[in-house]
Amino acid sequence: MKRVMKEFTGGNAMVSVLAVLASFIVGGILIAISSTEVQTTITYIGARPADFFNALWNSVFGAYDAMFRGAIFNYKAHDGVQMIKPITETLAYATPITMAGLGLAVAFRSGLFNIGGTGQIIFGAMFAGWVGIYVDLPFYIHFPLAVLAGIIGGGLFGALVGFLKAATGANEVIVTIMFNYIAVLLLSYLLKTPILQAPGSVNPVSPPVRDSAKYWFFMGDQFRIHGGLIAMLLAVIFTWWLLNRSTLGFRFRALGHNPNAAKVAGINIGLTYVLVMGISGALSGLAGTSQVLGTEKFLTLGVAASFGFDAITVALLGRSNPWGVLVAGLLFGGLRAGAVTMQANQNVPIDIVLVVQSLIVLFIAAPPLVRAIFRVKESKKAVAA
Amino acid sequence: MKQSKRTTISLLVLSLIGLWLFVSAPAGTTEISISTDSDIFKLPSFGLGVGFVSGIAFAAQVLAVIASGYFVLGRNHKTPRWVVILFAVALVFEILVGLFAGKTMTFTSLLQGSLALAVPLIFGSLAGVLSERVGVVNIAIEGQLLAGAFVSALIASLSDNMFAGLIGAVIAGALVAWVLAVFAIKYVVDQIIVGVVLNVLVVGLTNFMFSTLMVSNLPFYNQPPRFDKILIPLLGQIPVLGPVLFNQTLIVYLMYVAVAVVYVALFKTRWGLRVRAVGEYPKAADTVGINVFRTRYVSVILGGALAGLGGSFFTLGQVGAFGKEMTNGAGYIALAALIFGRWNPLYAAFAALLFGFAENLQYGLAIIGSSVPSEFLLMLPYALTVVAVAGLVGKVTGPAASGKAYIKS
């Protein structure tokens, strides 16, 4: 038992927990200094210190309490639906983030840096949206077809990056960053032309997706969660199987460990690049389907929101392990959902999420820093590793 | 396929665009105006037949392709750079004249707008050059620009002094670069991860401070004084280029100096040689007694300072007030310019100008009501960069040790 404890306090799990804690503390400091109550009470802190500490506690606790009520369980609500709505909101945000995060995790494990989550989500959403809007088929064909189109759309856009890397050695980081912008601009163009724009509309918005192509809203229309959640869990299992149990995943990981050794071992490096980026893009494309065929129900310029970048942080936080990505996705989904309530109730701008999120990743990436902050000793095992 | 042949074939393919423009050229003329009111020598505007210009431009492209083929198959085995430049100029001119067919193209204002858009890109690409030449990938240019923009607006408003704002911007950019350096060099974190995350962090922080602090009292926190334009005597009166280059704010003049200084420092001084040695082969540099870590810190932070300065152009040089996420991806275009410019400060500056020109063209076209969708012009920098990194126009290779942490053994 002692050994287990020691391993935990010195090991990676502890670092992750402490990193999250440290980020929340920094977030709390930001919330406190931006609160007008705190600002006014600090001017007479010498005369009435209690006022200051009260204001401090109210601002920070109030904000994080609002976050809890927005993300997990709203104990102040009057009816059951409102009470459990927060957790469903968390799941609704977590769905696309986790899916895209899985996609990036596949790439990271194979030693490829896919920053193109945004572009791949958009391509997935465009393909799925087009099929969902303009094809008229019975539900049992239409829905799978639309999802498949999204997966193929994201997959092709990703595979193109892999192909460029294989054929010309183009750096995938640069190419994916550029492809993100190209995808956004292409979507912006298509939403202005009859190809995707709703007839008669002056706004860059597509017509709604047909009912037969939509995800199943299994908790009714007052909640925003839908069958995408099930697709997300299937995607987690698939990615786990792919990376840890399949021959293909073995090749991916071999490539990630040492491309030269992989080549000597007879792995077709070029083809593997294409496959890695294709599957990575396909998972991001799936995230696009969850948005357009589920949560949003039509295509807008904001269809990818910030999910592409959230996915990077989720994949990093989850250490590119599918189950870790799931946990990280739920955490960041909760942060998003909670921040909406926090902004509405406590006037704390939603941007605090970006700060907390990026700090978490920075801290996790540098375990020595976290250990230095909390004065935790490094375990022997961690040193050996 | 051999690298050398790729260039020729790319030019050949691109010349098809030229051919198509020539064949489909309308019969009208394009009016070109190249004077502004401040010129001493007023040049009359003149009309050019679209078909005539397209024909000449297309002929120049054909000549360039033939020349390229001649050099590749001949002794050189390589297309000289001037052939590529000739080709590019001819094609761009043909496209411009075609776009403005039957309308007036006010050349000077087109160039002025391009330079204004290019200034932060040039500063940003210099930051990238300094950072990547020493072996640290700088994806955080965007964050450095944004931090510079925010801090310069805040400090200049509070102190009512533009120069204080400028210094604040330099420090803010350097600070972001310092964080990048610490994580990349000391904690050996993947440099791309740090860069991406830093960008998100700066967006989060500036948005947060904007919504809480600045919005509470806009005139007090977010109404900085702006730099005035300074007309340089004589130089400013050169036709066409004078008003574009020499009737600008202080920040733009600082940019000219920065490009020259970075170029000279990197390629003509001992310090620059050390920087490049560390970026190419840190182990060898270490062996001969260069302090790899210190060289990396200094160069990365200097770069960040320049990017911060570039960020101040958004506020003190142009708009005045800070706006949420006002850099709008300029840092990523700067990154593209740096790669397109092959990690060379001069080429990177020209690439940034080209990207600024492409971005500005949409405004020019919107005014005359052209039917070309602005999205495709905006895509140009990104598409060109993909073409560049895919090695279709000559091979692009960065510093060998860029992106790799150095662990002293």
| Whether residue B146 sits in one domain with residue B36 | no
For residue B71, what are the domain limits? 3-102
What is the radius of gyration, based on Cα positions, of chain B?
23
B123 is a domain residue: yes
In this predicted structure, what is the pLDDT of residue B35? 66
Helical segments of B100-190, H only = 107-133, 141-159, 162-181
Which whole number is the average pLDDT over A10-39?
84
Cα–Cα distance measured from residue A143 to residue A292, given in angstroms and rounded to the nearest whole number: 12
Closest CA to B190 of A157, A297, A312: A312
Examine the fold and report which residue of B102, B120, B139 is the final residue of a domain before the chain moves on.
B102
Residues of B in contact with A189 (CB under 8 A): 373, 375-376
Examine the pLDDT at A61 and tell me if it is beyond 50: yes
% of chain B residues with pLDDT over 90: 42
Name every chain B residue with its beta carbon within 8 A of the beta carbon of A366: 183, 187, 189
Task: Supply B207's token pair.
Answer: 């948005």
**Least confident segment among A347-356, B31-40, B192-201:** B31-40
For residues A190 and B297, what is the distance between their CA atoms, to the nearest angstrom?
45
What is the mean predicted confidence (pLDDT) over B304-316? 95
Mean pLDDT of chain B: 86
CA angle B129, B133, B136 (to 5 degrees): 95
pLDDT of residue B322: 93
Q: Do B193 and A361 touch (CB under 8 A)?
A: yes
Domain stops at, among B102, B129, B161: B102
Q: Which domain holds residue A271?
A: 90-348
What pLDDT was estimated at residue A232? 96
| Three-state secondary structure call for residue A110 | coil
Query: Which pLDDT tens digit goes with each residue over B214-233?
Result: 888 888 899 898 888 888 88
On whether residue A60 sits in a domain, the answer given is no
Residue A385: predicted pLDDT: 37
Q: Which helix (H) or strand (E) holds A76?
A: none
Average pLDDT over residues B188-208: 92
Determine the Cα–Cα distance for residues B42 and B198; give it in Å rounded to an integer: 49
- What's the rounded Cα separation, in Å, for the pair B251 and B257? 10
Q: Check residues A90 and B376 and name the one with the higher pLDDT.
A: A90
Tens digits of residue pLDDT in A269-327: 999 999 999 999 999 999 999 999 998 888 998 888 889 888 988 998 888 899 999 99
pLDDT of residue B129: 96
Question: What are A's interface residues with B at a Cβ cutoff of 8 A?
Answer: 30, 34, 36, 113, 115, 164, 167-171, 173-175, 177-179, 181-182, 185-186, 188-189, 192, 309, 312-313, 316, 349, 351-355, 357-359, 361-362, 365-366, 368-369
Among candidates B196, B201, B382 on the partner chain, residue whose Cβ is nearest the Cβ of A181: B382
Which chain A residues touch B212 with a CB distance below 8 Å? 34, 349
Are residue B181 and residue B323 in the same domain, yes or no?
Answer: yes
pLDDT of A199: 86
Name the residue with tokens 């572009």.
Answer: A119
CA distances, B375 to each of A181, B336, B338, B380 (Å): 10, 18, 22, 9
Give the total number of structural domains in chain B: 2
List of chain A residues whose C-beta atoms are within 8 Å of the C-beta of residue B390: 164, 167-168, 170, 175
Q: Which of B190, B208, B340 to mutate to test the interface with A (most CBs of A within 10 A)?
A: B208
Domain at B232, CATH number: 1.10.3470
Q: What are phi and psi of A228, to 5 degrees?
A: -55, -30
Q: Which of B337, B401, B269, B359 is nearest to B124 (CA)?
A: B337
- pLDDT for the residue numbered A381: 47
* pLDDT tens readout for residues A173-209: 889 988 999 999 999 999 988 888 888 888 888 999 9
Place of tokens 């310019």: B337
Closest CA to B264 of B255, B273, B251: B273
- pLDDT at residue number A328: 93
Would residue A40 count as lying in a domain?
no
Identify whether residues B221 and B333 lie together within a single domain: yes
Strands B46-49 and B230-231: unpaired
Question: What span, in angstroms and rounded, lies between the C-alpha atoms of A116 and A262?
Answer: 25
Confidence at residue A382, expressed as pLDDT on a 0 to 100 scale: 45
pLDDT of residue B2: 57
Number of Cβ atoms within 10 Å of the Cβ of B327: 29
> What is the overall mean pLDDT for chain A?
89
Pair B66, B129 in one domain: no
Q: What is the pLDDT of residue B15?
A: 84
Answer yes or no: do B130 and B216 share one domain. yes
How many domains are there within chain A?
1
**B127 and B173 belong to one structural domain:** yes
pLDDT in tens, B321-373: 999 999 988 998 899 889 888 899 999 999 899 888 888 887 777 776 666 77
Q: Do A174 and B213 touch (CB under 8 A)?
A: no
Is B198 touching A (CB cutoff 8 A)? yes
Question: Does any domain span residue B127?
Answer: yes
Residue from B320, B282, B234 nearest B405 by CA: B282
pLDDT of A13 reads 74
Please report where in the chains the tokens 């600082």 appear, as a residue.
Answer: B254
Residues B295 and B324 both lie in one domain = yes
Across the interface, whether the CB atoms of A352 and B211 are under 8 A apart is answered: no
Residue where a domain stops, chosen among B69, B84, B102? B102
What pLDDT is stored for residue B361 in this prediction? Answer: 80
A45 to A50, A51, A60, A61, B17: CA distances (angstroms):
8, 7, 18, 20, 72
Residue B231, phi then psi, degrees to nearest 5: -90, 120
Which long-range contacts (C-beta less than 8 Å, at least 24 apart) are formed by B158-163? B158/B220, B158/B221, B160/B225, B161/B225, B162/B224, B162/B225, B162/B226, B162/B227, B162/B316
Q: Do B379 and A182 lie within an 8 Å CB cutoff? A: yes
pLDDT tens string B54-108: 888 889 888 988 888 888 887 667 777 788 888 888 888 888 887 777 777 777 7
pLDDT band at B117 (very low <50, low <70, confident <90, very high): very high
Q: Are residues B68 and B8 in the same domain?
A: yes
Contact flag B376-A170 (C-beta cutoff 8 Å): no
A307 within a domain of the structure (yes/no): yes
Domain-located, residue B367: no
Say what the pLDDT of residue B38 is. Answer: 56
E strand or H helix at B350: helix B345-368
Domain shared by B133 and B8, yes or no: no
Q: What percent of chain B has pLDDT over 70?
A: 93
CB contacts < 8 A (A, B): 124
pLDDT at B80: 77
**φ, ψ for residue B195, nearest 5 deg:** -60, -50
Q: Quick check: is A329 in a domain?
A: yes
Helix (H) or strand (E) run with residue A140 in it: helix A139-168
With 0.90 as the threshold, say if the pTM is over it. Answer: no
pLDDT in tens, A91-106: 999 999 999 999 999 9
pLDDT, position A384: 39
Q: How far does A9 lie from chain B, in Å, by closest CA?
A: 20
What is the average per-residue pLDDT within A204-228?
A: 89
Counting Cβ atoms within 10 Å, is residue B140 exposed (0-12), middle (13-18) or buried (19+)? buried
